Amino acid sequence: MLKNKISVAASAVVFSVALNYGAQAAQKIYSPYVEKGEVEVEYFTSRTDDNDSAKNNLQKHQFALGYGVNDWWHTEFYGKFKNSYGTSNKFDAWEWENIFQFTERGEYLLDVGASLAYEYTPQNGHSDKLEWGLLLAKDIAKTSHVLNLNFEKEVGADAQASLESAILWSSRYNLNPYFEPGFEISSNFGELKHAGNFDDQQHYIGPTAYGKIPLHWANDNDALKYRVGYLFGASKAASNGDAVLQLEYEFRF
Q: Give me the domains of the chain, ranges plus CATH numbers.
A: 3-251 (2.40.160.40)
Q: Which residues pair with 128 in a beta bridge?
A: 155
d(CA 125, CA 212): 41
d(CA 170, CA 226): 14
Which pLDDT value is given to residue 88?
A: 86
Q: Beta strand pairing status for 73-82 and 90-101?
A: antiparallel
Residue 92, CB half-sphere, CA atoms under 13 Å: how many? 21
> Could you give the angle at the alpha carbon of 234 between the alpha carbons of 242 and 187, nearest 5°?
75
The per-residue pLDDT string of the chain (253 residues; one tens digit each, 9 = 90 and over) reads 543 443 333 333 333 333 333 445 668 899 999 999 999 999 999 999 999 999 999 999 999 999 999 999 999 999 999 998 778 889 999 999 999 999 999 999 999 999 999 999 987 777 899 999 999 999 999 999 999 999 999 998 778 878 999 999 999 999 999 999 999 999 999 999 888 999 999 999 999 999 999 997 767 789 999 999 999 999 999 999 999 999 999 998 7
Which pLDDT value is given to residue 85?
A: 77
Which pLDDT value is given to residue 100?
A: 98
Is residue 201 within 8 Å of residue 189, measured between CB atoms?
yes
Is residue 85 within 8 Å of residue 49, measured between CB atoms?
no
3-class secondary structure, 4: helix
Is residue 34 within 8 Å of residue 8, measured between CB atoms?
no
Q: Which residues pair with 119 in a beta bridge?
A: 95, 129
Does this model's pTM top 0.75? My answer is yes
d(CA 36, CA 250): 12
Which pLDDT value is given to residue 161?
A: 75
Which pLDDT value is given to residue 23?
A: 44
Across the chain, where does the E strand assignment appear?
Answer: 39-49, 59-68, 73-82, 90-101, 111-120, 128-140, 143-155, 164-173, 180-191, 202-214, 223-233, 241-251
Is residue 42 within 8 Å of residue 64, measured between CB atoms?
yes
Is residue 77 within 8 Å of residue 95, measured between CB atoms?
yes
Q: Which residues pair with 44 in a beta bridge?
A: 62, 246
